[in-house]
Amino acid sequence: MQILTLGASGGLEQRQGTSAFYLPPSTLIDAGTSAQQLSEAGQMSIINVLLTHAHIDHIASLPLLVDTQFEALVEQKRSLSVFALPDVLEKLKRHIFNEHIWPDFTRLPTAETPVMSLVPITFWQTLALPGEANTTLHVTPFPVFHGVPTCGYCVNDGTTQAAICGDTGLSETTIESLNRVGPLNHLFIECAFSNSLDALAALTQHLTPQRLATLLHALNTLPDELWVTHLKPKQRERIITELGQHLPPALKWTLPV
């Protein structure tokens, strides 16, 4: 199973865009600004978009993606499926696809044959999505805590299991979810701020290196590999230094981009 990080920045920078993970051949988890890293063929291949939450850095490319696919979707008589928690879908309809900010693609070209379908998900109810080489990706949304309705996703193709947490703070909700998911080959989890901004991290429900280390200590099993995401660009080097100081020495960790 491949999980290609198109970008996972916590802000605007030249190095990379914001959160988007590509699971070939046809699935995106989050649709931040880095979704533009997909080739034209890659953009056209996307069938399913799974959103962790409604913050702009995780949805920014979605309106343009469905617009790019529009003619092909009409010709093929199919729709782009957007999976998310019900509250997230409601916010998309009210604030983005509302005919003021962007056209309502759930009613285009007609309400009967729209090119975009909003599909509500429920925590712990597994989706079966197409994977590579005729495999099936079993994708299970799980609760995390970020101050707004948010989920992470556990992805299992029968041989590899990974969890993509989206945004989260230090919370029993996130710890309990990861322990329920069980042993992981890969854990993608954020670390937005340095330790010096601990109060801000607590207020906004993000992680610092120290908070991430505390969360990992509470897990029943450490992942085989940790991928640290969502670093604020201006704090990147300080966060990396502090991660080296706080993460378990035996844990293999890296930044996806």
Q: What would the pLDDT profile of 24-46 be if each residue is shown by its tens digit?
A: 999 999 999 999 999 999 999 99
Q: What is the average per-residue pLDDT within 152-178?
A: 98
Instruction: Give me the pLDDT at residue 55, please.
Output: 98
Of how many residues is the chain composed? Answer: 257
Please list the residues that pair with 139 across neighbouring strands: 127, 155
Region 229-240: mean pLDDT is: 97
Phi/psi of residue 207, nearest 5 degrees: -110, 150
Confidence (pLDDT) at 99: 97
Read off the amino acid at residue 157. D
Distance of CA 57 to the CA centre of its chain: 10
Residue 80 contacts residue 43 (beta carbons within 8 Å): no
Domains of the chain, by residue range, sit at: 4-254
Alpha-carbon Rg of the chain, whole angstroms? 18
Give the residues across from 137 on adjacent strands. 129
Confidence at residue 257, expressed as pLDDT on a 0 to 100 scale? 78
pLDDT at 234 (0 to 100) = 96
Where do runs of H (alpha helix) occur along 20-139?
Answer: 40-45, 56-59, 62-76, 86-91
Q: How confident is the model at residue 95 (pLDDT cuts 50, 70, 90)?
A: very high
How far is 83 from 102, CA to CA, in rounded Å? 19
Q: What is the pLDDT of residue 176?
A: 99
> Global pTM?
0.97
Q: Which amino acid is at 228?
A: V
Q: Which of 37, 32, 42 is nearest to 12 (CA)?
A: 32
**DSSP category for residue 9:** B
Element at 176 (helix H, strand E)? helix 172-181
**Class for domain 4-254, per CATH?**
alpha beta
- Distance between CA atoms of residues 180 and 28, nearest Å: 24
189 sits in which H/E element = strand 186-190
* Phi/psi at 246 (5° precision): -110, -30
Band of residue 78 on the pLDDT scale cut at 50, 70, 90: very high
Band the pLDDT of 256: cuts 50, 70, 90: confident
